[in-house]
Amino acid sequence: MAEEIPDRYESTAEAISPGAIVSAPLARSREWWKALRDAVRGSSLDYTTAPIGRAIFMLAVPMMLEMVMESIFAVADVFWVARLGADAVATVGLTESLLTLIYTLAIGVSIGAMALVARRVGEGDTHAAARAAAQAIVLAVLLSVAIGVVGVRYAADLLALMGASPAVIERGVNFTRIMLGGNVVIVLLFVINAIFRGAGDAAIAMRVLWFGNAINIVLGPMFIFGVGPFPELGVAGAAVATTIGRGSAVVYQLLTLTRGGSRIRLKLRQVAPNLPTMASLLRLAGPAAFQVMIGMASYVGLVRIIASFGSAALAGYTIAFRLIIFALLPSWGISNAAATMVGQNLGARRPERAERAVWQSAFYNMLFLGGVSVVFLALAPQIISLFSTDPTVHQYGVSGLRIISGGFLFYAYGMVLTQSFNGAGDTWTPTVINLFVFWLFELPLAYLLATRTALGPLGVFTAMAVSYSSLAVVSALVFRRGRWKQKVV
């Protein structure tokens, strides 16, 4: 085992943690920019021996950019589809609701794949890491194909079940068929990027999203409006462009994995079913998918509570919450970096180093979200004004943004700790914590504060801030017990 490099900033190349960046003299700015370029381009850094601050930086920067790119897929669709009218937008919205199941599946398998690959890479067994990656890809294809067959056959019925009007169904059923039928590219994009992250190739995952997103943005208006030689497909054209963009990104991923562009290399024989590896993936993916579903369902419950106070309250909440989610995206990059550090360092039998990486990542995340919280608290009226000029909507939006962001300092730790459990392969622990915090605590508290006190809709916002803080406290207490260090995957 290689000797661990002392975790001190003894050179300018190592002085790149957020705390060091703040205090670094101007003369060292070139070294900082070089480190930033290395993080975006990718490097061969050993995440089990390099200084922790540098390792987190090299992983977190591309992961943060990847999270931002992921959100642009949906934004690009809505931007162009909005020009086709309300029925077209309704089709996209309802189909996105149906895709929630697919996203849950994709994230669940992704968490399992990332944990297994990171652990094997940390152990120095890249062949086993490649085998785990191959089995994750096979599992993803099998599950998504089954869903695709059902989606294509029953697309119209599913839209009707979601409450779509006959006009929406007639106009948008092809969009839904394409999105559900081609869901394999959605699942594979998630899963293979998780494989890259687990292997420490965060920059590759980032470039994949850049590539697929660029294709989607260019092709979207072409297929929707029939520009040049492209057919005018209307709302279905958005599905075609998105599927082609994601599909192209998946091809890029597979070529990178099979041609040796990553730290692990897939070979055809590894695609053959391996029951022990597949069983390990399912043991990790099952609770991970349930974990994701808990979070999504809790937000649906909160929306149901606040909707009882009228459209203005719901509109204000929607605006505030979308801003919150956008602000949290970079934090997921830092959290995923911590998960990779945990998986690889546990594989290298360095549990104490893994723990230090988690606390250091959480501190960096707190600095980031703390800064965002200050901006939201100070500029909430100006920010909400960009989205609505209705006085009542504006009032609710400002209150929501300020109250919810008040829990950011705690949630910064909760996010990192949750992902760190997942990185260790301990997917049940955060699932149970989420079940307790979001279903058994947050939802009842939101209902009581909103309906049994004078707070009204503000009670929902308050419950969210309190639950964010509770998640951090409970996760920290459980994390300190250290059982995740003994998890075998």
pLDDT tens readout for residues 427-451: 999 999 999 999 999 999 999 999 9
The residues, ordered by sequence, that sit 6+ positions from 288 with a Cβ below 8 Å of its Cβ are 107, 108, 109, 111, 112, 422, 427, 431
The residues, ordered by sequence, that sit 6+ positions from 440 with a Cβ below 8 Å of its Cβ are none
- CA–CA gap between residue 185 and residue 245 (Å, rounded): 9
pLDDT for the residue 7 = 46
- The pLDDT > 90 percentage for the chain reads 61
- CA–CA gap between residue 90 and residue 176 (Å, rounded): 11
- Mind listing the pLDDT tens digit for each residue in 65-97? 888 776 666 566 667 887 887 778 777 777 877
Neighbouring C-beta atoms of residue 170, cutoff 10 Å = 13
pTM for the complete prediction? Answer: 0.85
pLDDT for the residue 342 = 97
Neighbouring C-beta atoms of residue 69, cutoff 10 Å = 20
Mean pLDDT computed over 337-346? 96
- Mind listing the pLDDT tens digit for each residue in 140-170? 999 999 999 999 999 999 888 877 788 888 8
Query: Are residues 474 and 433 in contact, defined by beta-carbon separation less than 8 angstroms?
Result: yes
